[in-house]
Amino acid sequence: MKMLQIPTMELEQRIKEEMEVNPALEEGRDEEAEEQNKMEEAANNTDNDGEEKSEANEDFDIRDYFDEDDIPDYKLYTNNHSADDEERETPLGAGSSFHDLLYAQIGLKDIDEDEQQLADYLIGNLDENGYLRRDLIAIVNDLAFSLNISTTLAELEAVLKTIQELDPPGVGARDLRECLLIQIKRAEHRDADIVAAEHIISKYFEEFTKKHYEKIAKKMELEEEDLKPAIDFILHLNPKPGNSMQDSARTVQHVIPDFNLVVENDELKLTLNGRNAPELRISREYREMMKHYAQSKTRDAKEREAMLFVKQKIDGAKWFIDAINQRNDTLLFCMNAIVEYQKEFFLSGDETKLRPMILKDIADQVGMDISTISRVANSKYIQTPYGTYLLKYFFSESLSTDDGEEVSSREVKKILKDAIEGEHKRKPLTDDRLAKLLNEKGYNIARRTVAKYREQLGIAVARLRKEL
């Protein structure tokens, strides 16, 4: 079940780990095993009365080779973890943190030792967004009682002003208003639009946050069109300067699809991506060792111990190969069911063609447990002619239309998104208006459901979508 859950990207690493701990496992096509399986099947089909055995096979029985006290290691191995437990490892991050970069910059400033100590303490109190959320009076008291450093509010404010000169612009601010003002004041060109932007944030910040642009224009005695450049400049400022450094250091992860789907002559062809999962076989060297020990006439303890070790590694390799094959078969079997269920979408790429589908629908279709389908869909991707999708994208709840037909919530979200993208930005559509719009199209949906879908799409409320 764990093998079924891991995606293709992690499967390669899992195979490498297994090959490192099990020398009996190696890459390559196992032609010898395939031939042996054919011979065994033919032998099993032969009647026992007419079966001819070689002298070596008659004399050798691997069970006679071990004493009763020889217990394999895997039978003595115990742990306190269930087979379904998910193993999570905490990754270790490397590189300079946001605070480290600020410490390096403040060290280049022309300040004395006492100011350096205050600056280091203030930087240490900045949150992940670059804001100083604590009151300066409280910090003055902390310095006096905790570190025995005597300072005044004026001295601390002066050091804070120095921190606010560091990059990225806006760090060290105590609130959003101050953060935006710091960035505006550090603008390279002081034209009329930037002066107007500074005036808006300084005098009409509350009206700006509520997007009451008409009130701001009236108070500033400007036309709305003349106000627009200043508003656009403010909207392009960074409200979280601390995150800008974290984003630039973030590692880009490429998605490796687990399945590939192509459409040929209105037929869907699904394949499992095996690029990162090489074919595995049991080491020929270990097979020869097994054969050698089997034919050996000695029965001493070292021979039995070596035989036990080789047998254990070969059994582990066989189990791992079988687990990989079973994983691949299960993934293909379940994914074929999903593709068949959503055939109209995969033929056209039209989101409105997606049928409502839950885990139970596929579980009933393939005759497996819901937990198995959940593991199949977990963190897996499929590459299609219309893009690469996460498998969970195709699972959605259902809604009913006026005709009693059940449609996918994905279809409703698509219509909702298109309606918001085409709205008049000066008068955005409210949730009530969107609900009425969907009802007019025949979808029975309440306003609170519209609000839920809008939030799932990451779209703000109408008031915050307003533009000049």
Per-residue pLDDT of the chain (468 residues; tens, 9 = 90+): 788 888 877 888 888 888 888 888 888 766 555 555 555 565 555 555 444 444 444 444 544 544 545 555 545 555 555 555 555 554 545 556 788 999 999 999 999 999 999 999 999 999 999 999 999 999 999 999 988 999 999 999 999 999 999 999 999 999 999 999 999 999 888 899 999 999 999 999 999 998 899 999 999 998 888 899 999 999 999 999 987 665 544 545 677 888 999 999 889 999 998 766 678 888 888 888 877 777 776 667 777 787 888 888 888 889 998 988 899 999 999 999 999 999 999 999 888 888 889 899 999 999 999 999 998 888 899 999 999 999 988 988 777 777 667 777 888 888 899 999 999 888 899 999 999 998 888 888 889 989 998 998 899 888 888 887
Asked whether residue 216 falls in the same domain as residue 268, the answer is no
Asked whether residue 389 falls in the same domain as residue 407, the answer is no
Asked whether residue 207 falls in the same domain as residue 142, the answer is no
- Residue 235 CA to residue 184 CA, distance in Å, equals 11
Whether residue 102 is contained in a domain is answered as no
Owning domain of residue 33: 1-38+61-75+250-395
Whether residue 212 is contained in a domain is answered as yes
Whether residue 114 is contained in a domain is answered as yes
Asked whether residue 290 falls in the same domain as residue 329, the answer is yes
Q: Characterize the bridge pairing of strands 381-384 and 387-390.
A: antiparallel
Omega within 30 of 0 (cis) for the link into 385:
no
Asked whether residue 71 falls in the same domain as residue 14, the answer is yes
Asked whether residue 133 falls in the same domain as residue 255, the answer is no
Asked whether residue 157 falls in the same domain as residue 144, the answer is yes
Asked whether residue 254 falls in the same domain as residue 391, the answer is yes
Asked whether residue 310 falls in the same domain as residue 358, the answer is yes
Whether residue 100 is contained in a domain is answered as no
Whether residue 89 is contained in a domain is answered as no
Whether residue 171 is contained in a domain is answered as no
**What is the tally of structural domains in the chain?**
4
Asked whether residue 404 falls in the same domain as residue 387, the answer is no
- Residue 5 CA to residue 373 CA, distance in Å, equals 10
pTM of the model: 0.55
- CA 146 → CA 158, 256, 373, 410, distances in Å? 21, 52, 56, 56
Whether residue 169 is contained in a domain is answered as no
Whether residue 340 is contained in a domain is answered as yes
